[in-house]
Structure 1
């Protein structure tokens, strides 16, 4: 962790694992979501923003039990084990029982961009937890996904969460627009990605709760729409 460069923003990738992404039910627009996440990884890396990748680990005997091949991150996900922080979790929240909160504090991160799967489980829970812990949270609308559920399509689940989470807990942005630099410098590019957590709209925009969820530094969150595909971390 000593190699992390202090940065205002960081990228958190949730559960992009072989056993979840390549399961019996394909994730909604999986290829596009993976491409968008890799775009964000490249953008974050270019500005030396910290990158964290969570892997969900199930109990012994489950397909994603400790040490299983299906628990591993996707081979096509551009996470670098030598440079990025990969960690295991056993709960829906990436913060529960892990060192994530302390790693973010050590890296001086105050805004966290969240991507991955599944939308209604670990992505949703982590977005809300991050906001409650004081980080400004950005959910990239076109960079999170899930699978169909009984009576509800994956597309509907993603759309629902993008709408419900945006505003009170999360900022919304799209990959093209997502910037890892100062907010004022991320504008004008577009890639459609959704950001959903508990503080702002989920889409090709960056929004932060105007309602006043205070950030870690005590300042009020504000909603700043941004769109575009060539944003950067920094």
Structure 2
């Protein structure tokens, strides 16, 4: 069993317009199907006074040398300007123009909740994420969001290296490539931490503790 946690945090990874919305330049269509599960978890964490943290991937020139290997890197530049804060774009499932880098309206952070911008896959790399977690007295992390085998996985594995008991929520993460998602969840459960469903996490709050098999 996972040691009982007194102040776990929910980390919502990169559920942004340019990843989630229909017709987005870096669309992960499966991400839209995870919105209800993520919302359920956000409600449970907030109701129990536990932190809800959001990450946003933001475009940065440091990634441009990878353009030859990773074709999507070119989308960060003009004219597409994917995940550029303040760049306004229209989408097929929303009205009006929306900020490309903003967290989707369905999962908007509440005033005072942490929103961490990052330029790499991991929320820990080249950020003050660990300092923010310490300030919140967080003792464990529950990860949801997109993309499972990229920013979610990298952040979750780093969380383990930083000493946090860590859970991936299998029905609240998403990918465009199901085999990669399955491999990530399997490897994480065997070697790093725990994989649970959203309902299993919510049930632990009813029981008065966050524990995992």
Q: Is the 8 A contact 1:55 1:71 kept in 2?
A: yes
Task: Give the superposed CA RMSD.
Answer: 2.4
More helix by share: 2
Corresponding pairs, count: 178
2:194 is the alignment partner of 1:171? yes
Alignment match, 1:104: 133
Alignment match, 1:59: 60
Partner-residue secondary structure (3-state), 1:103: helix
Alignment match, 1:146: 175
Q: Is the 8 A contact 1:10 1:180 kept in 2?
A: no
Deviation at 1:38, TM superposition (A): 0.6
Alignment match, 2:65: none
2:107 is the alignment partner of 1:88? no
Sort the Cα spacing of 1:84 and 1:181 in 2 relative to 1 into closer, same or farther, 3 A.
Answer: farther
Tell me the alpha carbon deviations over residues 174-195 of structure 1, each in whole angstroms, 9 at most, x when there is no partner: 11111496796469xxxxxxxx
Which structure 2 segments of 5+ residues have no match? 1-5, 62-76, 88-98
Map 1:191-206 onto structure 2 (within 5 A): none
2:90 is the alignment partner of 1:71? no
TM-score by length of 2: 0.75
CA distance in 1, matches of 2:82, 2:27: 16
Alignment match, 1:30: 31
Deviation at 1:75, TM superposition (A): 1.0
Q: Is the 8 A contact 1:177 1:186 kept in 2?
A: no
Tell me the alpha carbon deviations over residues 29-75 of structure 1, each in whole angstroms, 9 at most, x when there is no partner: 33331111111000000011011100000126332123322111111
CA distance in 2, matches of 1:27, 1:43: 25
Tell me the alpha carbon deviations over residues 145-195 of structure 1, each in whole angstroms, 9 at most, x when there is no partner: 022xxxxxx2222211111111321211111111496796469xxxxxxxx
Which structure 1 segments of 5+ residues have no match? 1-6, 148-153, 188-205, 207-223, 226-234
Deviation at 1:94, TM superposition (A): 0.4
Larger Rg: 2
